[in-house]
Chains A and B, each alone.
Chain A
Amino acid sequence: MKKAIVIGGGPAGMQTALQLARRGVEPVIVERENALGGKLRNWHRLFPTFTPATDVLAELRRRVDEKGIEVHLSTEVESFTAKSVKLSDGRTMPCDAVVVTTGFTLFDARIKEEYGYGIYDNVVTSTDLERMFNEGRVVKADGSQPRRIAFLHCVGSRDEKVCQQHCSRVCCVTGVKQAIETKQLLPEADVFNFYMDIRMFGPGYEELYREAQQQYGIHFVRGRISEAAATHDGRIRIKAEDTLTGRPLRMSVDLLVLLIGMRANDTNAAFAAGAGLTRAASGFLQPENLFLDSVRSGVEGIFYAGAVTAPKTVGETVNEAIAAADAAAEYLSKN
């Protein structure tokens, strides 16, 4: 039986392994963390249906268990070729093909110093907010309820100043989803979303945006917050331009949520150098052909699935994993 190593045990990796097994290939998942699930482990609900992330995760894990797929946790990959994967502990695992499903890295909001993440207690990121949703409450650092909350879109996306020129795609709808969830928990609170563009590319997203506006009364202000500063009473004073009226806008909020983007993993550079792969200008790995071979790397026996090639939704990732596994299985049947 041919063996394929799947690097990364998030939704892409789990689904790839499952499909490889269905196609008669022996999959081995190598995961850096001590559990399967990737970034999905930290998420509360998924847009646009508010499906609990655990529903998706638990089902994928159950199927991986059921198939008896070999999983190596807390195992870091240093480099690989199509025929072997070298681990950081010095071991080498031989194989017949590799599927790279290493996903993305969350943008570190501290780099955008002007927003004060890590400096002011009441500036949080979208991931911090998901943790609060998991705890069932949205509160300020002192435990009190926020009355006015601002969301800032595109933090670490579409921003040359932090070398992230690409659009992370999913943060727009995440901002709309989180604004609605915040309003559901705190109906009396005023919620403002500051955006540059609102990109509602998926089915049901535009409808969700409209629901946020009309049913939940969330205020959307077109303008990027330029800076945040603490007030004497621990609130956050923000500055932006209300570009639709052409006037500067100032306001204080109790909580500022930064919708952080998806950036390319630092490991991509070493992986690319070691295996002869191509990286896009954004740092994500570049598929052979965006239209006909988006799961092929351009190097024989190495395939991609999920956010390792570009920011993607969970649904897109899981579907792409099937395509990647099929391409790998087809390759293995011929080689």
Chain B
Amino acid sequence: MAAINFGYTISQPRAIDIDRNNLRKSDEILREMPELQTCIGCGSCTASCTAGNLTEFNFRKVHTLVRRGEYQGAYEELNKCMLCGKCRLVCPRGINTRGVILLIKRKLGDF
């Protein structure tokens, strides 16, 4: 039986709830590449990003969400990356951003 449409929907909470999120994958990622933790959120990676220029792709946001245990949609987002490596050239913290992207995809890919 099809659900009756009452004309409203239920919004899911937008809050990141660290108590509910499973941080195991995030911990594994940070253990393998602790340099990701040194991100200071400057946004150079996103500013220089070819994919970000054409789509809503925002590497800084995606990896920050992954570090908080918000994995939903991260893998698909990272598929927009063309691995050109410009972000790595501009990162003031010297983070191997391309390595981070490949690592997150590897960790989340087996979901």
Contact = CB atoms under 8 A, between A and B. Distances in A.
Interface string A223-244: 0000000000000000000101
Interface residues of B, number: 21
B17 A245 contact: no
B41 A247 contact: no
A250 B93 CA distance: 28
Contact of B68 (A217, A218, A222, A249): A249
A245 B65 contact: yes
B38 A214 contact: yes
Contact of A214 (B14, B17, B34, B41): B34
B37 A219 contact: yes
B14 A248 contact: yes
Contact of A244 (B18, B19, B60): B60
Given A242-B64, A249-B68, A252-B19, A213 B38 contact: yes
Contacts of A248: 14-16
Contacts of B30: 217
B17 A251 contact: yes
A249 B15 contact: yes
Query: Interface residue tally of chain A, by bracket?
Result: 20 to 34
A81 B37 CA distance: 54
A49 interface: no
Residue among A214, A215, A245, A246 with max Cβ neighbours from chain B (10 Å) = A245
B106 interface: no
B61 interface: yes
B19 to A, nearest CB: 5
Given A242-B64, A247-B70, A251-B19, 13 more contacts: A213-B34, A217-B30, A242-B68, A244-B64, A245-B64, A245-B70, A247-B15, A247-B65, A248-B14, A249-B17, A250-B16, A250-B18, A251-B17
